[in-house]
Structure formats: structure tokens, C-alpha cells
Amino acid sequence: MQPLYKRILIKLSGEGLMGDNAFGMSSEVLSRIAAEIKKVYDLGVEISIVVGGGNIFRGAKEASKGISRSVADQVGMLGTVMNALYLQDCLEKIGLPVRVMSGLNVPQVCEPYMYRRALKHISKKRIVIFAGGTGNPYFTTDTAAALRASELECDALLKATQVDGVYSADPKKDSSATRFEAISYDEVLEKNLRVMDLTAITLIKESHIPVVVFALKAENAFVNAVCGMGVYTKIQN
């Protein structure tokens, strides 16, 4: 198979790491994701990853219960560090070189994010996992993914979700929802499809980076998304 992209950023949601669990991480799911990522790595694709923290703590949701939004988001960012370290371990166990870089300064467990150092890791064929979001409250991990993809001049942002693309409505709630094979950034904004937040979509649009939205649970999901195969939605200008 021939990859369409040389350098990609993969966005993994925290919820996607839970499997059938109500909370936390599923070692089985993480092992499967690691194996899928290895298939992409073996194609010679340069890989970076942004991981969410919703399986542990959701800052905005908790802030609505009376916790300070800044504090809630900081706790959520620490949750992404936990997920990143777990994923790093799974990837290293199957022989992949991995570095974790964080927008929050947690030097005992991972490197602080620095643009040039990240590029150096990628040039040495290391997978870089970005944790800690942007390092600032009020910004989602989708925005962090758009920011890192833009900084690193990625050829595509691959967003792994619970459904196989972008739909006109939530397919879990609306049986009449239809899937888009391709859609523009402007249409996503106009239709308020919520595949990514407004800041993330605006930033990725300005950077002219296509977003490939696909189902995390699909067989060979990552390789298919990279090679333009399988079922997915592509967001681009």
C-alpha cells in the first residue's frame, strides 16, 4: 500500500481508549491502537499523536459543576499526560521509538514541548506524543492537535472517532443522519457539525491541512486512512 501523506498527526480521544470500561484505559484497546500505528510507521510515515483526556477528566464538564474552569482544564491536561505515558509504553513494547512532549512542564515524566526538538525527534523517525494540550486552559485537545499539526507542517490530521466519518447529525441519536464522503471547512462551520471545535477548525483551515475523520474501531483503520482506503470523511478547502 502507498501512503498519501508523508507526515501526519493522529488525534486520539480519551474516550476512545476506554473500550467497554466506564472509566480509565483499556489495555486491550491501547495494544490494538499501538499495533495499528505500527502498520502506518512501517510504511515510512512520520507520525505524531495528540491524545485527549476525557476518559479521566473533562475540564469543561467539571467546571459547570462549580470548579474553576482554569483548574478543571489543568486537571484535564494532566489526564492527557497519563494517557500519553500509557500509550508510549504500549508502543515501545512493540519496538517503536517514542517520545512524549507536554505543553505542561512535567519534567519527571516527559519532555517539555519545544518546536525544534519535536522536529528533531520526527527527523530521527521517532513517534512524538503531544500531551498537556496547548498548555493553557480554555483550549481543547482538538485545538492542540490543529496547532501541533500546523507547527510541524503535517500533510494531514487524522481524527479517530467513534463513528466512521462526519455526519449531518449524531448517527447514534438520529437514524436519518447521512455521512459526508468529503466536506469543506466552511461547510463544517456553517452546518455546526461539531466534529472539531471552532478554534481548531479555523486554525486547520488557515493551515490548509486536510482532516481525515474515521472510525477508531474499524479494521486497519489507520492504514486505510493514510492510504485513502476504507470509509472516512475528508475535510478540506
Give the model's pLDDT for residue 71.
87
Range of the domain at 112: 7-161+202-236
**Would you state the cell numbers that stand for residue 129, as one nine-digit string?**
506524543
The cell 501526519 sits on which residue?
A: 8
CB atoms within 10 A of CB 78: 18
End-to-end CA distance of the chain: 26
**pTM greater than 0.85:** yes
Instruction: Say which CATH number the domain at 53 has.
Output: 3.40.1160.10
Q: Is residue 193 part of a domain?
A: no
Number of domains the chain is built from = 1
Report if residue 180 sits inside a domain.
no
CA–CA separation, 128 and 220 (whole Å): 21
Strands 98-102 and 46-51: unpaired
Q: Which residues pair with 174 in a beta bridge?
A: none
The whole-angstrom separation of Cα 8 and Cα 115 is 16
Per the domain annotation, does 197 fall within a domain? no
Strand partners, 7: 46
Residue 217 belongs to a domain = yes
| pLDDT values of the chain reduced to their tens digit, one per residue, 237 residues | 899 999 999 999 888 888 777 777 888 999 999 999 999 999 999 999 999 988 876 645 555 566 888 888 888 899 999 999 999 999 999 999 999 999 999 999 999 999 999 999 999 999 999 999 999 999 999 999 999 999 999 999 999 998 999 999 988 889 899 999 999 999 999 999 989 999 999 999 999 999 999 999 888 999 999 999 999 999 998
